[in-house]
Structure 1
């Protein structure tokens, strides 16, 4: 290990900050990254548990860049290596990978580059690392550190166990003085313990970042008409890339075919395809040539596509760890994204059989317990994010406001009579019926199962015909969760009444039930409102420019043979569309635009912005001596407000919220916020405290002062841990500007 790593000197940390700006285009590290990097640079073993999209890669890439020698990165998938190496090269960092896809001649060239010290990062698979002769080769390389990515794969307790990872403990034997950093996006207590012990880490410091991904909108929907719901969602998000996770290979192919038949650019991915087939569909998705991937969990681990806007689980995942990691593939760029989970009790029964089949009793018990936690999440009647974070031993102080439960909290009512009808039907059917058959009896259905069992003759047949299927489905599951029934799996999933259930049936105990409200599902808009909403969204100047920037990014990516997000992320393009930088200094002030990327792409994007804005946007000589922050959009006091903006402002002055105005005017919320921002910038008096309170304004002002200079919106967004959205930050900036003017 090089001497430079024995102490993380101030000079090294200064070099790390400079590298962050030069290569990645960011002015400040995210929370916890500084502490992690400092610990690694001091030559100590480290465990990093950080959610997908939280910036794990930077934690070892920056130390690799500023240290002497080469960082060896152990990664489980060829696709992951390829993505990260392409991204590093695009940022101007010398990196390479060696795996089964690399020919011998190329591998020899890479090896020589590593031995000569010309590589900062070398990615290898665990199989390659442990192959004959490779460890001897590494003895000739000046290794700065080892980074074990997706480290949860080392534990049989984890959700993605890989036997080859268990042999990585030999690294400590061969390289006793070289620091090892283990990184994962999800690991429960047992998996964390395995990571430390199996890698033979020496007194590692464990950095546990918040597992909260506040930009992901959590939704659970009933498991009926899943295909219709998926098609409806995609129709409302025709440009947004997404992933649909299915339980079986056959389902993947069926859903993919149905999407393609409806004109959706979709592909399927599962372990039954050949490597060439999997590679082809994955590449098409990364290149934005395919909008939707329908896949088993074989797809996605480590996929670095930052602009996945949604993830749909067609079937219930078997545990929360897997669910969390899979939804984490959405919104890695920090922009708003959605995770939808379809849920039915039939999924639970099917998954229960899968997780307990052909496994030791101890493992089956653990698998069942984890499945039940997943079921509790799906059936939640309180903030879903709280439940999710609680699983990872993290407490959320208040409801998240970005899940279906928070937006549409259930109300309760006295459901004793409803419960008694269901309990009576179960008792009169001699406790031999499953949930679905019970609902059919209550609703008075005359199907084969009801008639053959003679259930149409019992007294409570049809007693619940006034309620639709989904209502009964919800209420019976609540009764299950409340302990009135239990399911006899060994008797064909028959419902059995508990002692508590008998008390309710006899009227000795009342039962509150949560009022059934269909899970979030947008009403189908009329053709006229669809058109109006589309025009409103597409018609905003910011949206128009973003679309042009995205097309330019795709064109450049295709010419260079790299995924579009390697050029710039969606978040970077969104900031360009909002800030519209037209000079070198302005462009370098955009988060995600480093020196290398500016030199490679900056001129093309500035040219496009100038063409979009017109001659008045041309930079003056003073642009080159401005601060590194991008210019705000032109804001001239007392400038006339358009009729549409004026209508929005009038409704605001009447006391309506932006959400109410958007609904009243049939406009996108982003359009309304743009109206309010532009009006305020032009001197109109708005109730600024409707958007940002005095306390919040003070906190944002303090953050701006701490960051120094004129920080970008993304810097503020990250520094404040995503507490405020960009609209609030922009309005606060204008407010502070007015104060300075006064």
Structure 2
């Protein structure tokens, strides 16, 4: 949140930059030499007054696509952003660059809001961030009509889609901007939208005539891994212990109770793990998010509500203990890893109960038939990614209309190709047993019957006498669970939405039961035993891989210490001062003058003036040590 000093500074800062070219702004303000692919075209389109719909992967540089035009075009850019924490984070980063940025949201008191409104109407702001619900209020619209506006940027634009995973009803009213401010260009941006969602965004935001810019969705630095769920807690601990000790990460769970329990577990093992969900006190949520942003090595355990738009660059892993409902959700959540381009991991455990639970929730929902049909397609696509035997990245990118010509070599199915086996006979046994037990029982009971277990429940039901009793002794309980998981995932079985997970046959299984169709099943890998420091993925240590690039470890720590001290003085997260990639470049180049430091990637004019001498002094001390 702003301090009183911030507001005094807001009203006393000199006027903004004289009009410069986009390339000059990129270099002088943000410290970069050139635009990434598509960025330059998008920026020029908006600078020239055109509308744009931008699809670009998380970490691909979406923010610059409206921040640069905002500093080139006269007037104030209005940025629609869905979360208070996101606004505060981006405004803090911009102000460190010398940009006159502010936000309007419910965290502000009356005097703070009034000071910001005054700065807007008197032309003293370059960018103003605002939540959609605040923007559409009559008072705010009246305020905007009295100001000079350079553009509207609608961030996280997928929130407008009623089929999306982050739907926000307030976004639906943003179409009125086209009519209310016809001369002001608009740019909508998102990282997660399939073709259906893109079309919906364009229609709902009145951007049907806007130029569409679709960047590649690939994040090659992220290694995607999905493994069968055996004991999620033990698997998570083994994964972090083997590959990500000391790293910053996010662990996603579906329920609040599971979030709390997982955070306690990680804390008991010596990790700095903090919970984040809507059931926590707002002050505790804000405190935990602040620690995540400002401290090193913090793990946040969260429901999906956490992380939208978070700009923290050094998240080394994102772990899922529960299956996401769609590939859009999975892509966005995993995309919070490795925004700095360094090696990172998207790791997930996935089991039969995940499939059953999500299918039950879907079928038992109050949505209409069209809603359920779309949601089934999304879930089927998510399950398809989990069960695929080929390259996961190719499947993920294909869903978003992107193409990867060759397998990526950086997902688990590329690194350790899964074995398959002819499961036709086993599947016939499984389906027959579900049928002969009356389609009234869950998977554990059906497996007990297949394996000939002698227990009271089976005796009472009289299922020792049926023909499928004991015919599945050749497979273990774990192997049978794999069979049933794949049958449910691929739509041959379903869980009764009215019951307690009872398995039922679907029409799809008819050909299998009649022997008219064969089926290949994925053979789940046998879990490797980990012993503290050994990785289960080809000895790949993602966090260590980043640190291994540093040869001067004392110098690296000295630069980090300098950054941390400055961040604490300014009350901002360390990465707002400089990203790790900038410190890497600094350590490699060893600049000795301000002019040389200005050539380091990510060092703009404002930060050079504010922090240059501090880092040059740190570099001098490194050189003399």
TM range (shorter): 0.7 to 0.9
Contact kept? 2:246, 2:297, Cα under 8 Å: no
Specify the SS of the correspondent of 1:341.
Answer: strand
Structure 1 residue 126: Cα displacement: 1.6
- Is 2:314 aligned against 1:304? no
Q: Which residue of 2 aligns with 1:74?
A: 80
Indicate the larger mover: 294-303 or 346-355.
346-355
Deviation digits for residues 284-335 of structure 1 (CA, Å, limit 9, x no counterpart):
1111267111111121111221211111111111111111111111111111
Alignment of 1:433-472 (within 5 A): 433-446=441-454, 449-455=457-463, 461=469, 463-465=471-473, 467-472=475-480
Give the structure 2 partner of residue 593 of structure 1.
Answer: 603
Distance, in Å, in 2 between the alignment partners of 1:542 and 1:607 is 17
Aligned pairs (5 A) from 1:162-561: 162-201=168-207, 203-236=209-242, 237-288=244-295, 291-356=298-363, 357-416=365-424, 418-419=426-427, 421-422=429-430, 425-426=433-434, 429=437, 432-446=440-454, 449-455=457-463, 461=469, 463-465=471-473, 467-479=475-487, 493-495=501-503, 511-518=519-526, 524-525=532-533, 541-561=551-571
Please state if 1:565 is matched with 2:571: no
Contact residue 266 and residue 293 of structure 1 kept, 8 A: yes
2:107 aligns with one of 92, 101, 108: 101
2:612 to 602, 605, 609: 602
Cα pair 2:51 2:185 within 8 Å, conserved: yes
Aligned equivalents of 2:74 and 2:402: distance in 1? 37
- Structure 2's unaligned 5+ residue stretches are 1-17
Write 1 or 2 for the structure with the bigger share of helix.
1
User: Greater relative contact order: 1 or 2 (C-alpha under 8 angstroms, separation 6 or more)?
Assistant: 2
Residue pair 1:266, 1:290 contacting (<8 A) in 2 also: no
Cα contact 2:194–2:400 (8 A) shared by 1? yes
Report the Cα distance in structure 2 between the residues aligned to 1:445 and 1:542, rounded to whole angstroms: 62
SS of 2:138's partner is coil
Of 564-573 and 282-291, more deviation after overlay is shown by 282-291
In the TM superposition, what whole-angstrom CA distance separates every residue of 1:529-566 from its partner, at most 9, and x where no partner exists?
99xx9899779624554344333322321222101110
CA distance 1:388–1:449, shift in 2 (3 Å): farther
8 Å CA contact 2:352, 2:481 repeated in 1? no
Task: Single out whichever of 378-387 and 535-544 deviates more from structure 2.
Answer: 535-544
Q: Does the 8 Å CA contact 2:360/2:496 hold for their aligned counterparts?
A: no
Deviations for 1:692-737, whole angstroms, at most 9, x for unmatched residues? xxxxxxxxxxxxxxxxxxxxxxxxxxxxxxxxxxxxxxxxxxxxxx
The question of whether the paired residues in 1 share the 8 Å contact of 2:175 and 2:205 is answered with yes
- Name the CA distance, whole Å, in 2 between partners of 1:342 and 1:395: 26
Matches of 1:202 and 1:78, distance apart in 2: 29
Q: Give the aligned CA root-mean-square deviation in angstroms.
A: 3.3
* Paired position in structure 2 for 1:737: none
User: Which whole-Å CA distance do the structure 1 matches of 2:407 and 2:500 have between them?
Assistant: 39
Tell me whether 386-395 or 448-457 shows the greater mean CA deviation. 448-457
TM-score (norm 2): 0.87
Deviation at 1:197, TM superposition (A): 2.6
Q: CA deviation at 1:280?
A: 1.5
Say if 1:509 and 1:536 are closer, same or farther in 2 by CA, change over 3 A. Answer: closer
SS at match of 1:309: strand
TM-superposed deviation, 1:422: 3.9
SS state of the match for residue 400, structure 1? coil
Alpha-carbon separation, structure 1, partners of 2:139 and 2:594: 48
Cα deviation for residue 97 of structure 1 reads 1.0
SS state at 1:541 partner: coil
User: 1:71 Cα deviation (Å)?
Assistant: 0.7
- Please say if residues 442 and 464 of structure 1, whose CA atoms lie closer than 8 Å, have aligned partners that are also in contact: yes
In structure 1, the partner of 2:22 is 16
| C-alpha deviation, 1:252, in angstroms | 1.2
Question: Which among 159, 165, 172 is matched to residue 159 of structure 1?
Answer: 165
Relative to structure 1, the CA distance from residue 79 to residue 51 in structure 2 (aligned partners, 3 Å threshold; closer, same or farther) is: same
Change (3 A) 1:123 1:489: closer
| 3-state SS, counterpart of residue 273 of structure 1 | coil
Cα–Cα, structure 1 residues 106 and 470, in superposed 2: closer, same or farther, change >3 Å? same
**Structure-2 change in CA distance of 1:611 and 1:42 (3 Å):** same
Match of 2:603, SS?
coil
Q: How far is the alpha carbon of 1:512 from its aligned partner?
A: 3.8
Say which SS state the counterpart of residue 24 (structure 1) adopts: coil
* TM-score, normalising length: structure 1: 0.74
- For 1:546 and 1:145, the matched residues in 2 are separated by 40
| More displaced 10-residue stretch of structure 1: 494-503 or 411-420 | 494-503
User: Does structure 2 retain, via aligned residues, the 8 Å contact 1:187–1:321?
Assistant: yes
3-state secondary structure, aligned to 1:597: helix
Q: Do the aligned partners of 2:356 and 2:495 also contact (CA within 8 Å) in 1?
A: no
CA distance in 2, matches of 1:410, 1:279: 42
Q: Distance in 1 between matches of 2:523 and 2:135?
A: 57
Decide which moves more: 468-477 or 235-244.
468-477
**Quick check: 2:493–2:503 contact (8 Å CA) kept in 1?**
yes
Distance 2:346 2:127 in 1: 33
Write the distance in 1 (CA, Å) between the matches of 2:415 and 2:344: 16
Tell me the equivalent position of 2:47: 41
Residue 593 of structure 1: SS of its match in structure 2?
coil
Any unmatched runs of 5+ in structure 1?
1-11, 616-742
Residue deviations 1:578-627 (CA, integer Å, cap 9, x gap): 44444434433322122222222233333333433447xxxxxxxxxxxx
C-alpha distance in structure 2 between counterparts of 1:448 and 1:586, whole Å: 79
Name the CA shift for 1:69/1:485 in 2 (closer, same or farther; >3 Å): closer
CA distance in 2, matches of 1:457, 1:545: 74
How much does 1:136 deviate?
1.7
SS at match of 2:482: helix
In the alignment, the residues of structure 2 paired with residue 199 and residue 564 of structure 1 have an alpha-carbon distance, to the nearest angstrom, of 36
Q: What displacement does 1:181 show? A: 0.9
CA contact (8 A) 2:550 2:556 kept: no
SS in 1 for 2:410: coil
> C-alpha distance in 2, partners of 1:175/1:508?
63
Q: 289-298 or 51-60: which moved more?
A: 289-298
Q: 8 Å contact 1:538–1:544 — kept in the other structure?
A: no
